[in-house]
Structure 1
Amino acid sequence: MIARFPKARLILASKSASRRAMLDAAGVTYEAIPADVDERAVEASLEGAAPGEIAEALAVAKAAALAPAHPDALVLGSDSLVVVDGRRFDKPESREAAADHLCFFSGKVMELHSGAAIVRGGGCEWSHAAIARLHVRDLSDSFIESYLAAEWPEIGYCAGAFRIEAMGVQLFDHIEGDQFTVLGMPLLPVLGALREFGVIEA
């Protein structure tokens, strides 16, 4: 049973517009504060771990980075990572890298792992990871060029080089998994945890 923290203040440890939009649309009151975390160092410490475990650990790390400075609050962290053909893909560092990623993704199944965690003070109170499988259609060179002309540099902040709520939806012909996981946070389990914690009404 999750311990309840009545009227607890909620902090979202993220600057992600899509994660903020999800919480806003769900009617959750929160404050957004970006977390400063060396994601590569966290990943290196988890070498050999499953992608879902890494996404969950990154979510915990982001929340834990802010929690000590806000002991009265519950801190929600979230992170996503992409795997295609067994290969991890981070956010593209340049337009050229994004084009390379998209060429590699063409005709393949993208696994998108989204993790979330809630930390209070010095401990993780709750965490969860979910997966969506996105079937990338065959992408022509001309489509990739026009797509990047429209979407760069915004997709430079996105694992998988796409925003599903924008032109990125054109990359796929089939998606397995819920839209929230694709957007970068397993929202339904998060809302369930927030109800248990007393942040939102049960």
Structure 2
Amino acid sequence: MALQLWETLKEAITAYTGLSPTTFFTVLALGLALYYAVSGLFGSSDRHSRARDYGEQTQPLPPPVQLGEVTEEELKLYDGTDPGKPLLMAIKGQIYDVSQSRMFYGPGGPYALFAGKDASRALAKMSFEEKDLTGDISGLGPFELDALQDWEYKFTSKYIKVGTIKKSSVQVEEGSSSAAQPALSTDNTQEKPSSE
């Protein structure tokens, strides 16, 4: 079978090119060698310079810095405008370091408007509107909450959590609890004399 195929190939080469099979394969080999020699002279220096340029442009990412609890105003400082700071974004009050995806979330990227913010509502609604760039998820429907949950899973699996956002409502509760303590202490002092 293989011998018949070889004989057919030799006849086809002679019929179509007018060359003997040995001459045909010699010319083919010389053509390939010449191609690799020429492309090596011109192409390799270009590839090396592109690799060198890319290496100069991209620097290794610094290790993520744990921020702890920050306000939304403090989070805005990590929107990518300062190349010396990590690029951060929050979902449901949890802050993630998205520096490794700077081409998406950094300045000029398609999702740059999410950087430095809690973008929970915008992600849930698949919205790029400024009014939706907030962590407020009240009033969202079940499909939107499911979409937000999917985003949260993606972020927890891909990025490192570096902090949380301080909620202003927590500060109000602290103020109200400190106001409630004197009332309790007053009640306790009133109860003690009546129980004696």
TM-score by length of 1: 0.22
Highest RCO, 1 vs 2 (Cα 8 Å, sep ≥ 6): 1
Larger CA Rg, structure 1 vs 2 = 2
TM-score by length of 2: 0.22
Which has a greater percent of strand?
Answer: 1
